[in-house]
Structure 1
Amino acid sequence: MSQFKIHSIQTAPGIAQPLLEGSLKKYGFVPNLHGGLAEAPAALKAYIDLTALFDQISFSPTERQVILLAVSVENHCTYCVAAHSMIAKHMVKADPAIVEALRNGKPLSDAKMDALASFTRAVVKNRGAVCGQTLDKFITAGYSRVQVLEVLLGVAFKTLSNYTNHIIDTPLDTAFQAEAWAEPAQSSSAKCA
C-alpha cells in the first residue's frame, strides 16, 4: 500500500493548488499523477514545466508520443503507458498499429519511427551511454543532433513521472482505463528494494 496521498485541489499544499487548477482546466480533470506530485509542489511544477517544454520541441506530436511511450514501456510504467496510449490514439490521432507495437516492445513498421523508438529505448536501457551504430542509425534515419538532445529531454521528463508512479503507486484514472496496460510476459519488471 502506498504511503502517499493523491491530492485534490482542496487537499493539496497551498502552493500546488493553482497548479492543480491549471491541470483541471487543461485536461478536464486532475490526473492522479498530478495529484500525487502535488505532495511536493516543486516536483509538480517541474513536471508541468517539462511538459510545456517537451510540447515545443521539433518532433511531431506522433513522434513525441513515440518517445514517451518507448520510455514508459522500458521503465515498466503501467500508468504512463495507458495515459500516453490514450493521448496518442485519441488526441494525436497516431496510427493505432504504432501504439500497439510500442506497447508490446515490437519494431514499428515505419523505419524512421522505429529508429526513434529504438534510440529512445537504448537511451533508457543504457542510461544515456548510447553511441556507435545506435546513434548512427538514428541520424541516418533523418534525425538531427538537436533531436538527439530533445530525446534526452523526453527521457528526463517521462522518467520523472514513471518513477513517481512506481513509488507512489498511482491509481489509473478512469479517463485512461480503456488503455490499461500490463507488461508483456517476457518483461522483467524491477522489484522494490
Structure 2
Amino acid sequence: MTNFSVHTIETASDDSQPLLEASKQAYGFVPNLHAVMAESPALLEAYKTVADIFDNKTNLSTTEQQIIAMTNNRLNGCTYCMAAHTSIMQAGKVPEDVITSLRDGTAIADPKLEALRLFAEKVNLQRGWLEDGDIEELLAAGYTKQTVFDVIVGTAYKVLSNYTNHIASTPLDRGFAKNEWTPEA
C-alpha cells in the first residue's frame, strides 16, 4: 500500500505552503485533508477554489449546501468527510433531524429539502444522466434551473475530497472524532 504524507506547513512544497497557511488562518488548524492534498498544490488549490465557489457563489443556504455535500459523502462512503461535515453542520446550526437524516440516508422531513437530497442522490448515482422528470421534481419543489447546476458544483467539490480521502486514507482530525461515521455494510 502506498502511504501518503500528512504534510505540515514546513514539510509542504513552496507552492502548497501559502495554501496551508490560509487553511490555518481560516480554521485555526490545518485539517488533515488539506495536509494530504498539499502533496499536489494543484489539487489543494482546486479543492479550496471549488469549495469557495460552492460556499459563496451559489444561491444555496448553508443547510442546502450541506445536504448536497453530505449526500455525496455518504454515497461515496467517505468516513473523513462525513465526520468533518457533521461538525460543520453542528457549528452552522443545521437542525439535528436534518443531520441525522443525512448521516443515515433517510428522508428529510421538510419536503423541499428532501427534494434537494433526492436530486443530489440522483446526480451522484446516475453520474449526471438525469431524466426530465428528475429535474421537474426539483423545480416543482421550489428550486431553479440554477440549482440543478449548483448541485453539480457541490458534487465536483466532494469528488475532490472524497476520492483523495479514499486514496490516501486521510486520518480523522481530533476535532471531528466525536462525529465518526461508518458506512453501512
What's the counterpart of residue 107 of structure 1?
107
Cα RMSD of the aligned pairs, angstroms, is 0.9
Matches within 5 A, 1:154-193: 154-185=154-185
How far does the alpha carbon of each residue in 1:122-143 deviate from its partner, in whole angstroms, 9 at most, with x for none? 1000111112322211110000
Query: Aligned partners of 1:179, 1:130: CA distance in 2, in Å?
Result: 33
Matches within 5 A, 1:87-102: 87-90=88-91, 92-102=92-102
How far does the alpha carbon of each residue in 1:30-82 deviate from its partner, in whole angstroms, 9 at most, with x for none? 00000010000011001111111011210001111111001100111000011
Matches within 5 A, 1:52-131: 52-56=52-56, 57-90=58-91, 92-131=92-131
What's the counterpart of residue 133 of structure 1?
133
Query: Aligned partners of 1:129, 1:103: CA distance in 2, in Å?
Result: 25
Structure 2 gaps of 5+ residues are: none
TM-score (norm 2): 0.97
What's the counterpart of residue 25 of structure 1?
25
Query: Aligned partners of 2:130, 2:20: CA distance in 1, in Å?
Result: 36
| 1:134 partner amino acid | D
Contact 1:54–1:153 (CA<8 Å) still a contact in 2? yes
| Sequence identity percentage | 42
Structure 1 gaps of 5+ residues are: 186-193
| 2:85 partner amino acid | H
After TM superposition, the runs of 4+ consecutive aligned structure 1 residues lying more than 4 A away are none
Q: How many residues align?
A: 184
How far the C-alpha of 1:2 sits from its partner, in A, is 4.5
Please say if 1:10 is aligned against 2:10.
yes
How far does the alpha carbon of each residue in 1:135-169 deviate from its partner, in whole angstroms, 9 at most, with x for none? 21111000000110000000001111000000000
Query: Aligned partners of 2:83, 2:2: CA distance in 1, in Å?
Result: 20
Please say if 1:48 is aligned against 2:66.
no
Query: Aligned partners of 2:52, 2:102: CA distance in 1, in Å?
Result: 23
TM-score (norm 1): 0.93
